Structure 1
């Protein structure tokens, strides 16, 4: 992922576990330093409040339901449930003359196994409304289900979709690089009113493989790693910086340490967003506050780091809640024995208490459930993690900022993995970007309507949440 300093960009490391104690030791000595994102373990996320579908369906009176149904028909269009910079709907690429396939030809020519111009339910796509678009299958190009799964999740990530679906008169500034341009063309093909039922993502795969050579060939890959590289490539291609590595004055840590937490956070956040300035950062990146407290003298040190996603370990058990996963990540941890960091006040290694909290919340929150472990991901946890449709992160935001930023999130996409680590398959189940009461299941070229009851399963691997002004229950 993008580094948070002016140093040359390195490809991210995706080890299943990170040396947390070494990171904590470094934070204690250089608190305030902005570490490279891919060099820190995915920091904490909060507890959640879960609402069952039964509670949602039974909580409203008949009159309320009628009012909500009327509101639903417009809210999915005007976007009053999400925080987006623009409420415009994507233009129709076919009508605007932008509809081209991955190889530059009409997308109908790239259709595989299904006649061009027909939707999954048999109707001509030219007669399909926006609410019926975006339900397009993707050809498997040789063990590329991992990429197809992530593309479907990102296709219904509304802030990113609306950025890339701007008309030619509202072109992206600066113009996208080659990977971003390939992704943009694929999105316009998938959301065209005349899109084929199945599209081949050949160009995107080729550009991704050039950006990250690990994706060359037909070997099995991990969907979460694909997401990280794809977002990194989009970030670099859409960077607003005229220089690849902008030069900024060095950080004066002595002066930084004298600032309040809010001032320190702002200084480091502004520095980071100057170095890593792109719409991708605007959408996906948040900020974490890390605190180390000496158990002997009480001295505290804090640092603020950007995060692009949160990787959560799964507790033992056949079924656990997402809250339990988050508790593992956010509960204060004692560093003792060989893990004791050096206290700057005591001038010696001391037992310390490490804790995290959220400081700035991203528009899109990505949660990675760490199901794979061992060398080459040889072990997989099939535990059912009960992830909720609604997350309220208010109590997990730093106390100084509670109530000052929206903290409600709604689940809209899940990348799923079935089978074994050595022979599995990636799919996606997604809430339609413009029909919030509709869930769609994608498995490469296969597209079918699904239901809310099928969203939570033991196959859930990468979760996508969108920050909202209102909770998911307000629409049901």
Structure 2
């Protein structure tokens, strides 16, 4: 599982434009990894929520490799996934190390497919990230379903899994990269019987406090049952202000490590602690 940490609403990385050569010279070519490119994305009217998430996902190497591999397959009808694949391919095949690219095709498709983003208003990048990952997963599962419906097994019978409309769709590489599992344990105070329930997730929200850390927030959530309290999940980055009579964004200082060790609190010895490397952090600075 990759951890793509999204903090607050997010801003676009600065576009380098005419300063690309100066930046590349200042950094020095020896600082660039082989075959890596650093490109800013043009803002098409408050699309920084989208640009920043796309850049974070581009530098999540397992995700990027799957997207580029998808593009190498036979062309399909244009959708959000094909547009993202074209954008990643365009960045990966640039001759220069740094520069700027307009993601116009992707933005146009995004606005066409979801009216929530069909405007020039600032949007929440957290919501956009969830929408994008779920949309890609749905597209992959639908394509797999179509491939099965068009093919037959060696004995000429239809795939039994395809015939079962109620079957749970098989996980995609989106799930393999980003999906985690939460285990909720309940202990009976009378007989001390323990019952557990697993719940998969692509996104995990935590309540934050002033001058805290991601590790502390995760530990607090696991001990208080926060992750399964839907009422509290909506309060992660916002707080209701009585004097304003609305929710306002929290501008708290939250420390996060480059490596995050998650401990197993379920008592299952077969599932030990795990160490995760931080892939990306997207932070929105401003109003």
Task: Please give the TM-score of this superposition, normalised by the length of structure 1.
Answer: 0.45
Paired position in structure 2 for 1:372: 238
Q: Deviations over 1:340-381 (max 9, x none)?
A: xxxxxxxxxxxxxx998xxxxxxxxxxx99322449984122
Paired position in structure 1 for 2:258: 389
1:14-413 correspondence to structure 2 within 5 Å: 114=17, 120-121=23-24, 131=34, 133-166=36-69, 171-172=72-73, 178-194=79-95, 197-239=99-141, 241-243=144-146, 248=164, 272=168, 275-315=169-209, 317=210, 319-332=211-224, 370-374=236-240, 378-396=247-265, 399-403=268-272, 407-413=274-280
Secondary structure of the residue aligned to 2:95 is coil
Displacement, 1:164?
2.1
Distance in structure 1 (CA, Å) of the matches to 2:165 and 2:173: 24
Structure number having the greater helix percentage: 2
What are the ranges of 5 or more consecutive residues in structure 1 without an aligned counterpart? 1-15, 17-111, 251-270, 334-353, 357-367, 425-476
Whether the 8 Å CA contact 1:120–1:197 is kept in 2: the answer is: no
What are the ranges of 5 or more consecutive residues in structure 2 without an aligned counterpart? 1-7, 9-14, 150-160, 229-233
Displacement, 1:221?
0.4
Whether the 8 Å CA contact 2:70–2:85 is kept in 1: the answer is: no
Secondary structure of the residue aligned to 2:122 is coil
Secondary structure of the residue aligned to 2:17 is coil
Whether the 8 Å CA contact 1:395–1:402 is kept in 2: the answer is: yes
Structure 1 residues 283 and 177: CA distance shift in structure 2, 3 A: farther
Q: Deviations over 1:114-152 (max 9, x none)?
A: 3599584259xxxx9754732101111001111111011
Displacement, 1:395?
3.5
Aligned pair count reads 249
Secondary structure of the residue aligned to 1:301 is strand
Distance in structure 1 (CA, Å) of the matches to 2:190 and 2:94: 66
Whether the 8 Å CA contact 1:153–1:415 is kept in 2: the answer is: yes
Match of residue 284, structure 2, among 414, 417, 438: 417
Displacement, 1:398?
5.0
Secondary structure of the residue aligned to 2:278 is strand
Whether the 8 Å CA contact 1:322–1:386 is kept in 2: the answer is: yes
